[in-house]
Amino acid sequence: MDRLRIRGGQPLQGSVRVAGAKNAALKMLAAGLLTTDELALSNVPMLADITTMGRLLAGMGVKVARDRDTVTVRSDGLHSTEASYDLVKTMRASIVVLGPLLARAGSARVSLPGGCAIGARPVDQHLKGLQALGAQIRIEHGYIVADLGSNRRLRGARIVTDLVTVTGTENLMMAATLADGQTVIENAAREPEVADLAACLNRMGARIRGAGTDRIAIEGVDRLHGAQYRVMPDRIETGSFLVAAAITGGDVRLEGAAPATLDAVLDKLREAGAEIQAGEDWIRLRMVGRPRAVNLRTAPYPAFPTDMQAQFMALGCVADGVGAIVETIFENRFMHVLELQRLGADIGIDGNTAIVRGVARLSGARVMATDLRASASLVIAGLVADGETWVDRIYHLDRGYERMEQRLTQLGARIERVGSTPA
Ligand code: EPZ
């Protein structure tokens, strides 16, 4: 199994290009189920999760092809509406095929995702919303079995979600594009990936207004058609590189980024002492000296993203002072704490709050990645730890970061992928 070897202490310098957003591309691939025409997506990152979604769709008879950063999907040959446990358990985002399958084919059988390393993550809001749109849903043998009963199509409805859910909003928005009449989703997720998906769907002929706000209105249409769409830049990958630059006291410019989607993250980096300049599609971060400790609280967009919490914790580990990190989205997203402690971090946890006391130095050790963003945090910590840090189980990292170690090497980091266990 691959692992990463990092020798810390090198300030990152230079420029790197940001990849397309995983969490936008995955849903757009599923949106390909809504039309029999071809959907061509560019700026699709090369990631394990994208491959998994491709396999899931291919299993249903969808033609999926990649040519460099462009992926085309064509679902005129759709012959199955099932998402099996084997695939769904490896990638929870698979749940986003549920809404499109129901809208397009009138039925779906999608495995319930089951438990997850970062929290319980139920899908009750997806199901409640689809039921409001007229779907009949039952749970059978671990699967969500959904159909339209005696109805020919889904029916538009007003849906108020109990909490803000990203994939829940996306599933309902996609389903509603082909429903009869108008759907309104209140308390919708405002994440930029939701707005990007809506823009892609509108390019396919959907009539969606308000995506990016907490009230999305969708006027159902009879059919969607093919389109070409360029996926937005990955704001979490961008943020992760920025934190890596900051922790090492580096000077890094990110190209092809979307600074407008990163306000909360850039604010916290400035508070930590980073100097940041940004244009329309680039960000430059310079950090001189030791970072200052910051307090932060994760919350739905536009507040600080839970997907950047672990990386900021790594920064806090070597900061000057004490910072409190409150995680409000997922109940178990502190798995990286025990690993950061193995590198010498001083972190205490009380419920959903972590108190991070900055230490003067971290020391390299063998650590284990537990989930995607936790892996990024360990790599970031390894970049400043004394001696060697080995990060194990990096298949988590490969799910969400394209060739992370190569791009860090390009910035001067001493990091390599190694295929065997160290002696
Ligand atoms: C999306 O997950 C992202 N995944 C996650 O990114 C991200 O951490 C999360 O949104 C929050 O921003 C994708 O887009 C593929 P939620 P999602 O539904 O949609 C609870 C990464 O590292 N909830 O917004 O699954 C849920 O348990 C990943 O790239 C319900 O209770 O998250 C959680 O506590 C990890 N019932 C909260 O809501 C529901 O029906 C927010 O979850 C749905 C959610």
For residue 406, the tally of other CB atoms under 10 A from its CB is 12
Q: What integer is the mean pLDDT of 77-84?
A: 97
Q: Supply the pLDDT for residue 420.
A: 66
User: How close is the Cα of 123 to the center of ligand 1, in Å?
Assistant: 9
Q: What confidence score (pLDDT) does residue 114 get?
A: 72
Ligand 1, atom 1, residue with closest C-alpha: 166
Going by CA atoms, what residue is nearest to atom 35 of ligand 1?
307
Return the residue whose CA atom lies nearest to atom 16 of ligand 1: 165
Cis peptide bond prior to 302, omega within 30° of 0: yes
Six-digit token string for 422: 């160290």
User: For the segment 204-254, what is each residue's pLDDT rounded down to a tens digit?
Assistant: 999 999 999 999 999 999 999 999 999 999 999 999 999 999 999 999 999
Tens of pLDDT, residue by residue over 282-328, are 999 999 999 999 999 999 999 999 999 999 999 999 999 999 999 99
Assess whether pLDDT exceeds 90 at residue 117. no
Contacts of 219 (CB under 8 A, 6+ apart): 156, 181, 182, 207, 208
Q: Could you tell me the distance, in angstroms and rounded to a whole number, from the CA of residue 9 to the centre of ligand 1?
A: 35
> pTM, whole model, 2 decimals?
0.97
Chain Cα centroid distance, residue 135: 28
Q: Is residue 403 pLDDT above 70, yes or no?
A: yes
Report the atom number in ligand 1 closest to the C-alpha of 373. Answer: 22
Q: Which atom of ligand 1 is nearest to the CA of 126?
A: 40
pLDDT at 319: 98
pLDDT tens per residue, range 335-348 = 999 999 999 999 99
Which pLDDT score is estimated for 421? Answer: 56
Closest C-alpha residue for ligand 1 atom 31: 122
Among protein residues, the one with the nearest Cα to ligand 1's atom 13 is 23
Tell me which of 15, 79, 86, 116 is the catalytic residue.
116
Average pLDDT over residues 180-198: 98
Give the pLDDT mean for 4-10: 97
The mean pLDDT of 183-188, rounded to a whole number, is 98
Point out the ligand 1 atom lying closest to the alpha carbon of residue 167. Answer: 19
Please give the distance, rounded to the nearest whole angstrom, from the Cα atom of residue 167 to the centre of ligand 1: 6
Residue 140: which residues within 8 A CB-CB, separation 6 or more?
A: none
**286 φ/ψ angles, rounded to the nearest 5 degrees:** -125, 135
% of the chain residues with pLDDT over 90: 94
The residue to mutate among 88, 128, 162, 166, having the most atoms of ligand 1 within 8 angstroms of its beta carbon, is: 166
Q: 142 C-alpha vs ligand 1 centroid, how far in Å? A: 20
Residue 119, beta-bridge partner list:
116
Alpha helices (H) along 235-308: 235-247, 263-271
* Ligand 1 atom closest to the CA of 49, numbered from 1: 15
Q: What gap in Å lies between CA 71 and CA 65, rounded to an integer?
A: 6
Q: What spacing in Å lies between the alpha carbon of 166 and ligand 1's midpoint?
A: 6
Does the active-site annotation cover 200?
A: no
Q: Residue 405 above 80 pLDDT?
A: yes
pLDDT at 119 exceeding the cut of 80 = no
| CA 20–ligand 1 middle distance (angstroms) | 19
- Please report which confidence band the pLDDT of residue 180 belongs to, taking 50, 70 and 90 as the band edges: very high
Task: Kindly give the number of the ligand 1 atom that is closest to the alpha carbon of 123.
Answer: 40
User: How far away, in angstroms, is 329 Cα from ligand 1 center?
Assistant: 8
pLDDT given at position 113? 87
The protein residue with its alpha carbon nearest to ligand 1, atom 30, reads 122
Q: Which of 68, 129, 55 minimizes the C-alpha distance to 98? A: 129
Q: Which of 235, 236, 262 is nearest to 373 (CA)?
A: 236
Of ligand 1's atoms, which has the minimum distance to the CA of residue 301?
12
Residue owning the nearest CA to atom 10 of ligand 1: 166
Per-residue pLDDT tens over the stretch 305-315: 999 999 999 99
Pair of tokens at residue 166: 């990203």
Average pLDDT, the chain: 96
Pocket of ligand 1 (CB under 6 A): 23, 26, 92-93, 119-126, 163, 165-168, 189, 306-307, 329-330, 372-373, 400
